[in-house]
Chain A
Amino acid sequence: MDPVLADAYSTVLSGAPYVIGAYALIWVVLFAFVVALLAKSKKTQRDIDDLRESIERRSRKEERQKGRDAE
């Protein structure tokens, strides 16, 4: 390569790891946060579903009990 051109582009190779690192780390930070949030949201939704099911089961049990008591 022409030595003057090589000098003009000399910062490209030295700068590449830092540029790639900067872009990659920004995306990793944002992506990791989003993944953590989605995992938490999924777990909380499971807790909600379990609690609703438990409340419904208990309500049905109480209604059956009331029905038997009425008889």
Chain B
Amino acid sequence: MTKTSSDAMGTRRRLPWETIAIVAVILGCALTTVDFLWAFLRAPMVAGARLEEPALIGGTVVTTKMLFSQKIFYFHVPVAIVSFAFVIVAAVYAVLFLARRSERYDVRCRLCMQVGLIFIIATMISGDLWTRHDWGVWWVWEPRLTTYFILTLLVIAYFILRAAIDDPERRARFSAVFAIIAAIDAPISFMITRLIPSSIHPVVLRSDSGLSPDMLIPFLCGIFGMALVGFGIYRLRLRIEEQAAEVEQLKREFEQTVA
């Protein structure tokens, strides 16, 4: 499962994926820390309900309440975007498996879905807390939330499907098809707010998002930071799979020496 590259002499060298993963996690943590600090120390609070009379804050006339809960945005949206990315990458590996029938693509598809599920859980938790504070309820059946909930169920169903099939080849094939179907919901969930406008989920990722630099910079740091953290976690998970395969190989060798 290790990737190799050739140098000028044509000798195959192993890419230092473990080093790359560690660097990715460290860089990701640094970027998310910048995101966190900037969000709370520099990024302005957004406007809420109208005040009965205007207030003067820091030399600026303020006519609305300051929404502190909006700060959740700077982590909630990055983890959501990374969750979409992992589900889509899982579908890419699923397509590769169906095309080439190599077990390594099935393994990578499964791992991407696992890491994607972790980020989906993080998105749901942060989103629910935001909804609870701003709207007084834990859940509303608005378009983005509904399609994201469907995505959550599809990812969970992927693992239930894998657990239900004993034959490895059939399990890989059926899982690959299901992963592709699940990934169809990811762009739908992402784009739904452009088709059906929602006050809870305004369109942020556009050329005129209205985000000031003090909001855009931490937001972008959050996206790239979480993506790097996710990549590092995925590589760590892949390393464990490689170790497990090595254990099986060594067990077979040991049994041969006993025999």
Known contacts A18-B129, A18-B132, A18-B133, A12 near B122 by CB under 8 Å: no
> Which of the 9-residue segments B162-170, B199-207, B242-250 touches chain A?
B242-250
Measured CB to CB, the nearest residue on chain A to B239 is A41
Indicate the member of A9, A18, A44 with the most B CB atoms within 10 Å. A18
Residue A30, interface by CB 8 Å: yes
A37, B239: Cα distance in complex, Å: 10
Interface size on B, residues (CB 8 A): 45
B125 near A54 (CB under 8 angstroms)?
no
A52, B247: Cα distance in complex, Å: 9
B240 near A40 (CB under 8 angstroms)?
yes
Map CB proximity to A onto B230-243 as digits: 1 under 8 Å, 0 otherwise.
00010011011001
**In the complex, chain A residues whose CB is within 8 Å of the CB of B244:** 44
Map CB proximity to B onto A1-40 as digits: 1 under 8 Å, 0 otherwise.
0101101111110111011011101100110011001101
**Secondary structure call for the A interface:** helix
Q: How far is the CB of A61 from chain B (nearest CB, A)?
A: 9
Indicate the member of B51, B132, B133, B258 with the most A CB atoms within 10 Å. B133
Map CB proximity to A onto B96-109 as digits: 1 under 8 Å, 0 otherwise.
00000000000000
Interface size on A, residues (CB 8 A): 38
A19, B132: Cα distance in complex, Å: 11
Interface residues of A (CB under 8 A from B): 2, 4-5, 7-12, 14-16, 18-19, 21-23, 25-26, 29-30, 33-34, 37-38, 40-41, 44-45, 47-48, 51-52, 54-55, 58-59, 62
Interface residues of B (CB under 8 A from A): 36, 48, 51-55, 57, 62, 64-69, 71-72, 75-76, 79, 118, 121-122, 125-126, 129-130, 132-133, 229, 233, 236-237, 239-240, 243-244, 246-247, 250-251, 253-254, 257-258
The 5 A-B pairs with the shortest beta carbon distances in the complex, nearest first, are A15-B69, A15-B68, A51-B250, A22-B126, A18-B133
